[in-house]
Amino acid sequence: MIVFPHAKINLGLYVTSRRTDGYHNIQSLLLPIPLHDVLELIPSPDGATRFTRSGLSIDGNPDNDLVMQAWRLLLHHTLPPVHIHLHKVIPSGAGLGGGSSDAAFLLRLANDQFQLGLSTSTLQQYAATLGMDCPFFINSHAALATERGDQLTKIDFDLTGKTIVIVKPDCHISTRQAYAAITPARPPVPIIEAIRQPVSQWMQTIHNDFEPVAISQCPEISNIKTQLLNAGAAYAAMTGSGSAVFGLFDEPPVHLTNKDFSGAFYWKTKMTEVRNER
């Protein structure tokens, strides 16, 4: 069976307070976007469980991949040996949630294929042990993320019809350093209010607290954002803790191509609703 884990963007990302458990409280709107990896799970033909990857390169031992960590969470159920293959299209270290999505979709896929009978709530509990944004990908629906990012409130919102452009420069942002450099504060305009305004007003009302810190580590982020706005984006911002930047356009930017962003990952498409299909 094959599924297509999708990416996400953050509309606004605010660090609102420090917690006594060492984490931070945040506020962000998570929105699924139609940029997909490919994940296949089949019964093993040789009696051994194997995991392989292709597509964009991923650092680290494949055995430590979030997909395999998700698989091991299910091993207390009676499961047969399997072959798992992941084809990476979503770049890593981008703030697009690709690794979290892959892991969440593995949980969903195994639950369906082997008829484990796990509820959505249980799947989200499993996913939460893998990463703060993993539970979001169990439902694949726009959601307001609060507290550590793991408290999700479903929001009726999408950007169908807009064109989205994503550009990821070849640089890595230290999330730990970024959190350390941010002074927590509540957003001046609550995100739920801000997104109801016209997109043309979002540059004044929706911000990502991680952007200034990320730009200090990778100035190319600022350059990309400026290029997208100059090309006609109604709104442009970094997603997550970076380093990918997205631009939202009312009309496709026909003169904007990957040649304008030398050495960077470049992707452009019309926004469509990402459905929670099994």
Tokens (6 digits) for 227? 């290029």
Q: Find out whether 42 and 82 touch, Cβ atoms under 8 Å.
A: yes
Q: Cβ–Cβ contacts within 10 Å for residue 222, how many?
A: 16
Q: Please give the backbone phi and psi of residue 264, each rounded to the nearest 5 degrees, phi first.
A: -105, 155
Q: What is the pLDDT along the chain (278 residues), one digit of tens a residue?
A: 999 999 999 999 999 999 998 889 999 999 999 999 999 999 999 999 999 999 999 888 999 999 999 999 999 998 999 999 999 999 999 999 999 999 999 999 999 999 999 999 999 999 999 999 999 999 989 999 999 998 999 999 989 999 999 999 999 888 888 888 899 999 999 999 999 999 999 999 999 999 999 999 999 999 999 999 999 999 999 999 989 999 999 999 988 999 999 889 999 999 987 765 44
Q: Cα(152)–Cα(80) distance, rounded to whole angstroms?
A: 33
Nearest residue to 139 via CA among 122, 120, 113, 119 = 120
Tokens (6 digits) for 146? 């609060």
Nearest residue to 80 via CA among 52, 114, 109 = 114
Cα–Cα distance list, 12 to 76, 102, 116, 233 (Å): 39, 23, 36, 16
State whether residue 214 is helix, strand or coil.
helix
Which amino acids are annotated catalytic?
Answer: 8, 133
Tokens (6 digits) for 262? 């030398």
pLDDT (0 to 100) of residue 278:
42
pLDDT (0 to 100) of residue 276:
57
Q: What residue segments make up the domains of the chain, in order of their start?
A: 2-154, 163-270
> Which residues are 237's β-sheet partners?
246
Q: Which CATH class is domain 2-154?
A: alpha beta
| Per-residue DSSP letter, 24 | E
Q: Cα(152)–Cα(99) distance, rounded to whole angstroms?
A: 19
pLDDT (0 to 100) of residue 275:
64
The CA R_g of the chain, rounded to the nearest whole Å, is: 19
Q: Please give the backbone phi and psi of residue 8, each rounded to the nearest 5 degrees, phi first.
A: -140, 160
- CATH 3.30.470.20 holds for 163-270: no
Q: Please give the backbone phi and psi of residue 62, each rounded to the nearest 5 degrees, phi first.
A: -55, -30
CA 109, 5, 145 angle in degrees (round to 5)? Answer: 105
First-residue to last-residue Cα distance in the chain: 10
